[in-house]
Structure 1
Amino acid sequence: MNTKPLPDIAAQSAPHAMPLDWVGMCGIALPLRLDGQTLTARTDAGVSLDDASARGIHMSRLYLALEELEKEELSADVLRRVLERFLDSHQGLSSSASLRLYGEASLKRPALVSSLAGWKAYPFEVHARQDAWGFHVELQLEVAYSSTCPCSAALARQLVQQRFAKDFADRPLELPQALDWLGSHGSAATPHSQRSVARLWVRLGQPGAIPLRRLADLAEQVLGTALQTAVKRADEQAFALANGQNLMFCEDAARRLGTALRGQDWLEGFRLRVVHAESLHAHDAVAEHRWNYPG
């Protein structure tokens, strides 16, 4: 049996002495418990390499520390403990540590009117960092919704009005005839709608569980036209009504979200980006806003 110690190349001096901002691993598969469900996420884990003469870090120590994320609901407290283990295992080498967790969470959403329900996927990222400025946690979430253009709606209404005036110019108007006309010609011109996406980055200001569902609920309530899952015709009609009564440019969506997020005491700052994938144009309409958010 070979009793010689195994070589530790990482302990050797670096051939070119230089500190590195971040060294670690990306794309580690890891089960997470988030919002009451277990999901498979990916993890990027790393630390700074401040010792310019050190050849490398101890990546296996980072990998083993990630096991703590499997044991309980993902929270700011758990993330802090993992990052502290990163740094404790790299004393003298590193002064900052970070984690990036990303994947898709599934939330069950009810239909607007009927008893149906279905699952929606919400892409998310959780960023945690421990450095000289303290401990920080950020949640990034993507929420999809429908948006109907106010300008297009106004132009469509004008065309319907013009056709109505033309068809009834030379005959008396009575309610049954008007209702029949609307049933046949009320959609002579329709506004254009588009599938849209809001991307939210929020810096969490309180310890505790990661508020993914809370943020998704808030965004969908504010926007008013969240994408649906299983629907019946009554739900589709209710969705059409919601869009018709909820016309918005990308600027409107960004301001609604920004106003709502500013009123939340559980976050320290945020950044948002809304993208309306135009059905009229071959390009997107985009609006961004940030509050108390670096960069």
Structure 2
Amino acid sequence: MNRLPLEDIASAPSQRLGTLSWVGMEGIALPLRVAGQGVTGSASAGVSLDDPTARGIHMSRLYLALAELEERELSLPRVAAVLETFLGSHDGLSRAAFLDLSGEAMLKRPALISPLAGWKRYPFTLRCRHDGGGLQATLDLTVGYSSTCPCSAALSRQLIQQAFDEDFTDMPVTRQAVSAWLGSEQGILATPHSQRSQAHLSLRLADELDELPLLRLVDAVERSLGTALQTAVKRIDEQAFALANGQNLMFCEDAARRLHHTLRDQPGIRGFRLRVVHAESLHAHDAVARSEWNWEEESADEERP
């Protein structure tokens, strides 16, 4: 049986002329490796359609080019090479190529004191653009932490102070008596409210970076805040965590300022935008603070889909 040539409808000219800023695919399943660990990733790949007469792009060429990233350590040079393949396979059609890669990096984190360790997930998206003039990359990263309210801590201390004055009105103040009182339930009559919090970061990466600095950035952020969320713990770790929270009382404004100064000192970061969210345990709403540095100088993000 003779087979007729398969018709390529996409190669026919468009009946309605016009350029398009982005054409491609979203939600592509793609296994990645980040910080040495496997990641169930998702990709959005596209190119601009700059030929107003063209019916469409070659989506299969974009899909096949993504194989270069499968189960290989995610790096900026590899992403740049894939974007160059996007453009090379659409010569005459496209002048810009886009690739967003998302997933949850799995990092093993040690306990504060004991030898235990466990895994934590860090959601990320690497947003990349190539228009023939080089790679432009932005890393979106979410890092969780604990925050204890300074106002609540001060009010709790006041209540404990008042209870101490009342209990020791007619009692001799001896070291033994005070120590026993502090170890009783009266010694912790009130506790400040704490909440699980998140830092949402968007970081413009410098052109000269080769490796994806995700692990280095997570370490810097968690050191800056001082209250990283824990995995496997013993009681000694839980006590150390309580101490860390007490020594790092933070409004959302405090956390945002800490991160602002930390990120400005990170090598390979050309600009950033950050948002911290304290999921209030006192209120039925969140406390939020935002900051940015060197973010408005480029408008590439405004052109993204």
- TM-score of Structure 1 vs Structure 2, range by shorter chain: over 0.9
Q: Give the letter aligned to residue 27 of structure 2.
A: G
Let me know the Cα RMSD of the aligned residues. 1.2
> Alpha-carbon deviation of 1:134?
3.7
Query: d(CA) in 2 for partners of 1:138 and 1:186?
Result: 49
In the TM superposition, what are the counterparts of 1:81-160 in structure 2 within 5 Å?
81-131=81-131, 134-160=134-160
SS at match of 2:222: helix
Query: d(CA) in 1 for partners of 2:74 and 2:2?
Result: 43
Q: Give the letter aligned to residue 292 of structure 2.
A: R
Q: 1:261 aligns with which of 260, 263, 287?
A: 263
> Alpha-carbon deviation of 1:5?
2.0
Query: d(CA) in 2 for partners of 1:262 and 1:46?
Result: 31
Aligned pair in 2 of structure 1 residues 56, 292: CA closer, same or farther (>3 Å)?
same
Q: Give the letter aligned to residue 266 of structure 2.
A: Q
Query: d(CA) in 2 for partners of 1:283 and 1:71?
Result: 40
Tell whether 2:193 aligns with 1:192.
yes
Query: d(CA) in 2 for partners of 1:96 and 1:212?
Result: 26
> Alpha-carbon deviation of 1:70?
2.0
Deviations 1:78-136 (A, max 9, x none): 11111011011111111111000001111001111111110001111111101266421
Query: d(CA) in 1 for partners of 2:90 and 2:2?
Result: 29
Query: d(CA) in 2 for partners of 1:34 and 1:105?
Result: 6
Q: 1:277 aligns with which of 279, 290, 296?
A: 279
**TM-score normalized by the length of structure 1:** 0.97
Query: d(CA) in 2 for partners of 1:2 and 1:169?
Result: 105
Q: Which moved more, 1:202-211 or 1:152-161?
A: 202-211
Q: Could you list the runs of 5+ residues in structure 1 that have no partner in the other structure?
A: none
Length, aligned pairs only: 295
Q: Which moved more, 1:157-166 or 1:32-41?
A: 32-41
Query: d(CA) in 2 for partners of 1:159 and 1:176?
Result: 22
Deviations 1:248-281 (A, max 9, x none): 1001101001101101221111111100000000
Q: Which moved more, 1:162-171 or 1:245-254?
A: 162-171
Could you tell me which residue of structure 1 aligns to residue 70 of structure 2?
70
Could you tell me which residue of structure 1 aligns to residue 245 of structure 2?
243
Q: Could you list the runs of 5+ residues in structure 2 that have no partner in the other structure?
A: 300-305
Query: d(CA) in 2 for partners of 1:243 and 1:183?
Result: 20
Could you tell me which residue of structure 1 aligns to residue 11 of structure 2?
11
Query: d(CA) in 2 for partners of 1:111 and 1:100?
Result: 33
Query: d(CA) in 2 for partners of 1:98 and 1:77?
Result: 14
SS at match of 1:272: strand
Could you tell me which residue of structure 1 aligns to residue 302 of structure 2?
none
**TM-score normalized by the length of structure 2:** 0.94
> Alpha-carbon deviation of 1:3?
4.2
Q: Which moved more, 1:260-269 or 1:236-245?
A: 260-269
In the TM superposition, what are the counterparts of 1:220-235 in structure 2 within 5 Å?
220-235=222-237
Q: Which moved more, 1:189-198 or 1:64-73?
A: 64-73
SS at match of 2:202: strand
Could you tell me which residue of structure 2 aligns to residue 26 of structure 1?
26
Identity of aligned residues (%): 63
Q: Give the letter aligned to residue 254 of structure 2.
A: D
Query: d(CA) in 2 for partners of 1:70 and 1:142?
Result: 23
Could you tell me which residue of structure 1 aligns to residue 44 of structure 2?
44
> Alpha-carbon deviation of 1:207?
2.5
Q: Which moved more, 1:120-129 or 1:32-41?
A: 32-41
> Alpha-carbon deviation of 1:74?
1.4
> Alpha-carbon deviation of 1:182?
1.2
SS at match of 1:186: helix
SS at match of 2:183: helix
Query: d(CA) in 1 for partners of 2:209 and 2:76?
Result: 5
Query: d(CA) in 2 for partners of 1:181 and 1:226?
Result: 31
Q: Which moved more, 1:4-13 or 1:277-286?
A: 4-13
Q: Which moved more, 1:109-118 or 1:124-133?
A: 124-133
> Alpha-carbon deviation of 1:141?
1.0
> Alpha-carbon deviation of 1:15?
2.3
Could you tell me which residue of structure 2 aligns to residue 252 of structure 1?
254
Could you tell me which residue of structure 2 aligns to residue 163 of structure 1?
163
